[in-house]
A = this chain, B = another copy of it.
Amino acid sequence: MRSPGLLRWAIPVAFLSAAACASRGTAATEPAAPAPAAAEPAASVQPPAEAVRASERVTLTGTELGTMWTFENPPLDYWQSRYGFRPTAEWLEHVRLSSVRYGDSCSASFVSSAGLVMTNHHCARECIEANSSARDYVVEGFYAPTRKEELLCPGLFLDQLVEIQDVSQRVQGAAPSAASATQIAEAQQAEQAEIQQACEAASGLSCQVVSLFHGGQFKLYKYQRYEPVKLVFAPELQAGFFGGDPDNFTYPRYDLDVSFVRAYDADGTPARTPHYFQWDASGADENELVFITGNPGGTSRLVTVSQLMYELRLRHPYTVRLLELEVGILKRIAQQGPEAEKQVRDRLFSVENALKAYRGQLGGLRDTLLLGRKIRWEREFRQKVEADAARRAQYADAWDRMAEIQAEKLQVAAHRNLNDFNFRLAAPHLTLAGMLVRYIRETAKPEAERLERYRGENLQQIEQTLNGPTRVNPDFSALLLEAQLQLAREFLPPDAPMVREAFHAGESAADAAHRLVTETRVDEVDSRRALMRAGPAALDTASDLLVRLARVMDGAFREAERRLNDLEARQSVQDERLAQALFAVFGTQLPPDATFTLRISDGVVRRYPYNGTFAPPVTTFHGMYARSAEFNNEMPWTLPRSFAERRSAVALTTPLNFVTTNDITGGNSGSPLIDREARVIGVAFDSNIEGLPNEFLFSTEAARAVGVHAAGITEALRNVYRADALLKELVGEEPKKK
């Protein structure tokens, strides 16, 4: 499965692993241990008493697991009873074939029979940037009135889901029943690969086996892939990301986050796409049924309460602090000048986005009522398991086993993360010291017993580095090391070996980092060579303080990593048992967790209670002009140039953005919003901040999907950008003859 890369929210694992100078993907995805502060209660995976009390009072809505339905199992009866709407098989097929997955990160839809595709501006941003060397289309926006003027999006493809086959029996029966857990997993993976290859060879399609319900079902998804793809229209960044990071994830919003691309056949002609969504600029009234079709990247709604408590007690607070420190570092770098600012701009955008998402999720975890609802859901699920003797024997202890594992992870995870030389914000000096320590230790062993990176060609690279000149910036190193030490102080107990080795009594993280980086000689090749010559025994008496720190960290890391890997393996077993229990109790009546594959979610346009009053169901162009004026036209609320110039031509009360109760998350960016006639009424681009806790439990009280309204897109194309040809293709009129 491709993992979504360029998500507006729900920080992708791939991003978090892209650490400053290393590539192991664990830095922020598996954080930290019990807080050492004396005033805090001992960390535990028991939920807080208030949440347990709240669970006695809450009512479940039946949609706690959300509404991200699969096309192979649409909830026809539920839709019928709730909305009086029962789509036909033709309707469902048409909608499925009109929807496409956009690259490996977003969603999109066909909006003309000639391959025209609508997605978000932030999804097309990579393509716009790739074409911005001569003219800066990011800043200026782009419009191709004719096909000749369209610009190639390098590497971009669009996947249309054309067929779905159930392969559960083949995959699940791949291993003999007496096989061990590991053997089963390996056999199943081999079977999936074989299915995919056979499918691709036979059909010429792009094939993928999808595991739903954490292994409860396996489906073969076959995609028609469209490439090349060309850029047709993009507004200025200032229109497509109006309000910038402050307004990101919020609503009321005034954001023209839309772009158009076109799918081409290999022969250079626009793809013929008979299945496409008709344009409906009139939108939907409040409380009217709307669907979103798209590819949500991932959700964590099947996790247990004890897993949530691990998130609450450790992973989320740790990640928030880590990202806060990173934002601080990036901003200090940006202050060094325009060139430095440009270098870190994209990363700063990504990290600020992730920080906001994590903070929002942490807020949800701290919400007594939300946690209470989760507790109640789990209690009712467990009761259903307990009520049946066979199920009780098979699954009833899974929750307790899971809780034990989480409690152990609380003790171990921060040690693993913070002793890691591949720490997300690793200081170059410490990376060097770590490489040196490991080299000395590993090369003293027979090759077969060494770590992977200390064998063969890898080893030669390391030797080159250690024996050559190294240029490492001490100021930058001190800045990064300070962050790592600060986190160690906050998330490791005071007697952790690394903490004792790094700090003098009463010293701040900044002072310790500065001292260590200034005094070490690890950046001098002669010093490194002397240590390599002295061998492993001499390490224990080395006088270089950073080498001593690295030595302690190396030991602590290996121990913590071993324990954590063991815990992860044990957790996988319980994960699977719980998924089976869910499947046994509920069958397919609940939607599976998101898997970055096509889903259809139902909802309605609806205002919500907010800040003591109501957030409106729609916003208008008035609002963009208002918000800009309110902040004196300063960034990031500066009026986009086109909007400023064409102000008098704009119908100010035209809807611009709107909110619905549909269930979306990262990966859904660019999803079409459609009505019951399968007409497109907007494009989804964000969740409001109240929707971030939906990661763990779905609710529609204040959580909303935010979209650009079709009327707003029409008005902008007509009166702001005067993109007549595009507009005519959209609304279905013939282009005027010239």
Using a CB–CB cutoff of 8 Å, the interface residues on chain A facing chain B are 39-40, 53, 56, 243, 246-247, 249-250, 252, 286, 356, 360, 607, 610-614, 616-620, 622-623, 625-627, 629-632, 652-653, 689
A516 CB to nearest B CB, Å: 28
10 nearest CB pairs, A to B: A616-B630, A622-B626, A612-B689, A629-B653, A246-B613, A250-B612, A250-B613, A623-B626, A622-B622, A620-B629
> Across the two chains, which residue of chain B brings its CB closest to A614?
B246
- Please measure, in the bound complex, the distance between the C-alpha atom of A249 and the C-alpha atom of B612, giving whole angstroms: 8
- Please measure, in the bound complex, the distance between the C-alpha atom of A40 and the C-alpha atom of B57, giving whole angstroms: 12
- Please measure, in the bound complex, the distance between the C-alpha atom of A611 and the C-alpha atom of B39, giving whole angstroms: 30
- Please measure, in the bound complex, the distance between the C-alpha atom of A252 and the C-alpha atom of B617, giving whole angstroms: 17
Pick from B611, B617, B626, B632: contact of A611, CB under 8 Å: B611
Is the beta-carbon distance between A611 and B250 smaller than 8 angstroms? yes
A704 CB to nearest B CB, Å: 12
Task: Decide: A616 near B627, CB < 8 A? Known: A39-B56, A56-B39, A611-B689.
Answer: yes
> Across the two chains, which residue of chain B brings its CB closest to A652?
B625
> Across the two chains, which residue of chain B brings its CB closest to A637?
B616
- Please measure, in the bound complex, the distance between the C-alpha atom of A614 and the C-alpha atom of B616, giving whole angstroms: 18
Given A39-B53, A622-B629, A626-B626: 19 more A-B contacts, CB < 8 Å: A40-B53, A243-B613, A246-B612, A247-B613, A249-B612, A250-B611, A250-B612, A286-B632, A356-B612, A360-B612, A611-B611, A611-B689, A612-B689, A616-B631, A619-B626, A623-B626, A625-B652, A626-B652, A626-B653
- Please measure, in the bound complex, the distance between the C-alpha atom of A600 and the C-alpha atom of B625, giving whole angstroms: 35
- Please measure, in the bound complex, the distance between the C-alpha atom of A689 and the C-alpha atom of B609, giving whole angstroms: 13
Q: Can you name 23 A-B residue pairings with CB atoms under 8 Å?
A: A39-B53, A246-B612, A247-B613, A250-B611, A250-B612, A250-B613, A252-B630, A286-B632, A356-B612, A616-B631, A619-B626, A619-B630, A620-B629, A622-B623, A622-B629, A622-B652, A625-B652, A625-B653, A626-B626, A626-B652, A626-B653, A629-B653, A652-B652
Question: CB-CB < 8 A to A250: which residues of B?
Answer: 611-613
- Please measure, in the bound complex, the distance between the C-alpha atom of A614 and the C-alpha atom of B627, giving whole angstroms: 11
A692 CB to nearest B CB, Å: 9
> Across the two chains, which residue of chain B brings its CB closest to A628?
B653
> Across the two chains, which residue of chain B brings its CB closest to A244?
B613
A32 CB to nearest B CB, Å: 19
Question: CB-CB < 8 A to A626: which residues of B?
Answer: 619-620, 622-623, 626, 652-653
Task: Decide: A630 near B612, CB < 8 A? Known: A40-B53, A622-B622, A622-B625.
Answer: no
> Across the two chains, which residue of chain B brings its CB closest to A619?
B630
A63 CB to nearest B CB, Å: 24
Question: CB-CB < 8 A to A617: which residues of B?
Answer: 630-631
- Please measure, in the bound complex, the distance between the C-alpha atom of A652 and the C-alpha atom of B621, giving whole angstroms: 12
Q: Taking each of A53, A286, A616, A618, which has the highest tally of chain B beta carbons within 10 Å of its own beta carbon?
A: A616
- Please measure, in the bound complex, the distance between the C-alpha atom of A46 and the C-alpha atom of B623, giving whole angstroms: 47
Question: CB-CB < 8 A to A653: which residues of B?
Answer: 625-626, 629
Question: CB-CB < 8 A to A689: which residues of B?
Answer: 611-612
- Please measure, in the bound complex, the distance between the C-alpha atom of A619 and the C-alpha atom of B632, giving whole angstroms: 11
Question: CB-CB < 8 A to A247: which residues of B?
Answer: 613
> Across the two chains, which residue of chain B brings its CB closest to A41?
B49
Pick from B618, B627, B630: contact of A630, CB under 8 Å: B618
Q: Taking each of A243, A626, A652, which has the highest tally of chain B beta carbons within 10 Å of its own beta carbon?
A: A626
Q: Taking each of A243, A356, A612, which has the highest tally of chain B beta carbons within 10 Å of its own beta carbon?
A: A612
- Please measure, in the bound complex, the distance between the C-alpha atom of A607 and the C-alpha atom of B53, giving whole angstroms: 38
- Please measure, in the bound complex, the distance between the C-alpha atom of A370 and the C-alpha atom of B256, giving whole angstroms: 39
Question: CB-CB < 8 A to A622: which residues of B?
Answer: 622-623, 625-626, 629, 652
> Across the two chains, which residue of chain B brings its CB closest to A356?
B612
Question: CB-CB < 8 A to A56: which residues of B?
Answer: 39
A371 CB to nearest B CB, Å: 15
Question: CB-CB < 8 A to A616: which residues of B?
Answer: 627, 630-631
A244 CB to nearest B CB, Å: 9
A375 CB to nearest B CB, Å: 13
A621 CB to nearest B CB, Å: 8
- Please measure, in the bound complex, the distance between the C-alpha atom of A572 and the C-alpha atom of B439, giving whole angstroms: 76
A286 CB to nearest B CB, Å: 8
- Please measure, in the bound complex, the distance between the C-alpha atom of A632 and the C-alpha atom of B618, giving whole angstroms: 9
A280 CB to nearest B CB, Å: 18
- Please measure, in the bound complex, the distance between the C-alpha atom of A497 and the C-alpha atom of B503, giving whole angstroms: 65
A352 CB to nearest B CB, Å: 12
A613 CB to nearest B CB, Å: 4
> Across the two chains, which residue of chain B brings its CB closest to A623?
B626
Question: CB-CB < 8 A to A607: which residues of B?
Answer: 631
A644 CB to nearest B CB, Å: 12
Question: CB-CB < 8 A to A623: which residues of B?
Answer: 622-623, 626, 630
Question: CB-CB < 8 A to A356: which residues of B?
Answer: 612
Question: CB-CB < 8 A to A630: which residues of B?
Answer: 252, 616-620, 623
- Please measure, in the bound complex, the distance between the C-alpha atom of A243 and the C-alpha atom of B623, giving whole angstroms: 16
- Please measure, in the bound complex, the distance between the C-alpha atom of A631 and the C-alpha atom of B630, giving whole angstroms: 21
- Please measure, in the bound complex, the distance between the C-alpha atom of A225 and the C-alpha atom of B611, giving whole angstroms: 40
- Please measure, in the bound complex, the distance between the C-alpha atom of A659 and the C-alpha atom of B93, giving whole angstroms: 53
A207 CB to nearest B CB, Å: 41
A673 CB to nearest B CB, Å: 18
- Please measure, in the bound complex, the distance between the C-alpha atom of A461 and the C-alpha atom of B343, giving whole angstroms: 87
Question: CB-CB < 8 A to A632: which residues of B?
Answer: 286
A519 CB to nearest B CB, Å: 33
> Across the two chains, which residue of chain B brings its CB closest to A636?
B613
Question: CB-CB < 8 A to A619: which residues of B?
Answer: 626, 630
A618 CB to nearest B CB, Å: 6
- Please measure, in the bound complex, the distance between the C-alpha atom of A83 and the C-alpha atom of B304, giving whole angstroms: 54
- Please measure, in the bound complex, the distance between the C-alpha atom of A622 and the C-alpha atom of B286, giving whole angstroms: 23
- Please measure, in the bound complex, the distance between the C-alpha atom of A252 and the C-alpha atom of B613, giving whole angstroms: 11
A503 CB to nearest B CB, Å: 21
Question: CB-CB < 8 A to A612: which residues of B?
Answer: 246, 249-250, 356, 360, 689
- Please measure, in the bound complex, the distance between the C-alpha atom of A280 and the C-alpha atom of B612, giving whole angstroms: 32
- Please measure, in the bound complex, the distance between the C-alpha atom of A620 and the C-alpha atom of B629, giving whole angstroms: 7
Question: CB-CB < 8 A to A246: which residues of B?
Answer: 612-614
Question: CB-CB < 8 A to A611: which residues of B?
Answer: 250, 610-611, 689
- Please measure, in the bound complex, the distance between the C-alpha atom of A151 and the C-alpha atom of B453, giving whole angstroms: 91
A264 CB to nearest B CB, Å: 39
A58 CB to nearest B CB, Å: 13
A473 CB to nearest B CB, Å: 34
Q: Taking each of A243, A246, A619, A622, which has the highest tally of chain B beta carbons within 10 Å of its own beta carbon?
A: A622
Question: CB-CB < 8 A to A620: which residues of B?
Answer: 626, 629-630
- Please measure, in the bound complex, the distance between the C-alpha atom of A250 and the C-alpha atom of B246, giving whole angstroms: 20
> Across the two chains, which residue of chain B brings its CB closest to A286?
B632
> Across the two chains, which residue of chain B brings its CB closest to A633?
B653
A634 CB to nearest B CB, Å: 10
- Please measure, in the bound complex, the distance between the C-alpha atom of A626 and the C-alpha atom of B616, giving whole angstroms: 10
A372 CB to nearest B CB, Å: 11
